Structure formats: structure tokens, C-alpha cells
Amino acid sequence: MLPEALHSIESFLDYLRGEKRASVHTVAAYQRDLSRFRHYCSERQIEQWQQLEGADIRLYISNRHKAGITAKSLQRELAAIRSFFQHLLKKQLLEQNPAQGIQAPKSNKKLPKTLDVDQVAGILDASADSVLEIRDVAIFELFYSSGLRLSELVMLDIHDIDLSEGGLKVRYGKGGKQRQVPVGKKALDAIQRWLACRPAVESDALFVSKRGARLGQRSVQMRLEKWCVKNGLSEHIHPHMLRHSFASHMLEASQDIRAVQELLGHADVSTTQIYTHLDFQHLASVYDKAHPRAKRLKD
């Protein structure tokens, strides 16, 4: 492709980093998706973005689908392409978005794997035998207490948590969004135990390694795996299972999907709906109480 076409991608990525404040992971994913699409365009001898038509993008998505790429991945790739062209449209480098209206194959929504209350207790109630395990228990408690994403938890600083008020500020939520979430007593107690023995280091990170560096995502995953093996939990458990379990248990107990949506930091309630376990009896009860023409006259 022509140099100006390649420069447009770099300009778009700079826009994501700067104005949109997208996370490093989001920018990297967009970069991979657009680089792959650029190679496709080069193979078809498309030298500039203005030459693209909707049929070219449909063929690209179709070829990727035939190659075995999942519907979820294709939806993400198409979203990246659509956002890129929307950016060019705003910059008046295109007259229309060729990706507009193009749909990726739909994926079947599967309920995320969750733990029951006893399984969660098996993880959180086990005794810690070292400073690092005291830290780990605080991490696991916080996952389940506040439903944090792994990326959100590792970016927490000490000043983000208010022990007296029982809450914390998530500064690096998905899409750069911030939110306030409550922290339960068990998690607060675990965090206080960790802070009492946390190494005196310059880092502001809430959770640090034994060398004093901010704990990374992979380290948290490995520590949870090690903890489960030590405590005889045979099932493969990853950090997001604690977030999923938080969402599922909260919905089952409260039936308040909007509140759980806010706690999880979901932009769309449809994302939260995947956790619902509302049975028909409950729905019928809500209907009878709420609908003005559902109420039955008393004899």
C-alpha cells in the first residue's frame, strides 16, 4: 500500500492512545487486526483506503471465517476496521465508511464458567503461610468482593482504596472508564493484613512482588493456579472465574441487573444479561406486580 495509507493506521493508533485513552492491550489488538487487514488489501493490489468497497471487506471476513477464525474474533476485527474507517471519515479522508452495515457471523453466547459458593469458600478460607500468600488471599478476596477485571486489579494503587469507607476507585476500567465499587469486610480485612506486611517500596501499587515491582497479570494467574493446587482444588481456576462468580451470585441474590451492570463496569446491560439465572416463576411474579393489566381482581 502507499505510504500515506500506512501512515493513516499509525495516526489512528495515536488517536486511540491519546484522545481515546485506550489501554495498551486494546491498542495492540487494533494494531494486529489492522495490520492483517492491510496485508489482505496489498494482496488484492488495493493501494489506498479510498479504493476499498464493502464487497472487499465482506470477502475478507468470509475468508477469515472459512479459515476457522471464531465469530467473536471476527466481530472484534470488524469493529477495529469499522472504527478505523470512521476515524478517516472524521478526518475527511473518506467520503463514506465501507465497513458500515457489514455484519460478522454471530456467536453463541455461552455462560461463563462460575464457581459455587462452597468452591469460592475453598479458595478464600484457606490459611496463608507466608507474606506472599497473605498478599494472594487479599487479591483473591478483592476479585470476588468487587468483581474486578484482572487488568483493573493489577493497576490499583494504595490510594485507590478507602479502608474506612469500604470502597475503591477503578481508574483503568475497560474503555478508559472509571467507577467506584464497594469492598466487602472480608476483602478489607485481607487487604489490611497485606498492607501490614507489604514491603516498604517506592511503588504506589497496591499489590507488589517480593522485589517491590507492581504485580503483573500473568503473575496473578500463576499464583492462583499454585494456590488451588496447594489447597487440593483440582478444577482449573483462573482470576476471571472469581469475577464471573461475583456477578452470578450477586444476580441470583439481588435480581438487580442494573446494579450488577454498574458494579462490573459493563457499558451495555446486554453484556450483564449473560449471567442471569432468573427463573420463570420470578419473572411471572415481577410481571404480576408491575404490569397495570396483569393484576387479578380479588373475589
- The residue from 20, 36, 113, 240 that is catalytic is 240
Q: Distance (Å, rounded) from C-alpha 9 to C-alpha 35?
A: 8
**149: annotated active-site residue:** yes
**211: annotated active-site residue:** no
Q: Distance (Å, rounded) from C-alpha 218 to C-alpha 74?
A: 26
- The residue from 174, 179, 186, 214 that is catalytic is 174
**174: annotated active-site residue:** yes
CB 266 within 8 A of CB 152: no
- The residue from 135, 198, 243, 244 that is catalytic is 243
Query: Which single residue is written with the C-alpha cell 471465517?
Result: 65
- The residue from 87, 198, 244, 266 that is catalytic is 266
- The residue from 30, 60, 144, 275 that is catalytic is 275
Residue 175 three-state SS: helix
> What are 272's three cell numbers?
450483564
Residue 213 three-state SS: coil
- Report the relative pairing of strands 167-170 and 179-182 from DSSP bridges: antiparallel
Residue 182 three-state SS: strand
DSSP for 86-122, written as a single string? HHHHHTTS-SS-TTTT--PPP----PPP---HHHHHH
**266: annotated active-site residue:** yes
Residue 185 three-state SS: helix
Q: Distance (Å, rounded) from C-alpha 120 to C-alpha 135?
A: 17
**243: annotated active-site residue:** yes
CB 268 within 8 A of CB 285: no
CB 272 within 8 A of CB 266: yes
Alpha-carbon separation of residue 121 from 55, 146, 149, 206 (angstroms)? 53, 16, 20, 23
- The residue from 64, 135, 149, 223 that is catalytic is 149
Which positions are annotated as active-site residues?
149, 174, 240, 243, 266, 275
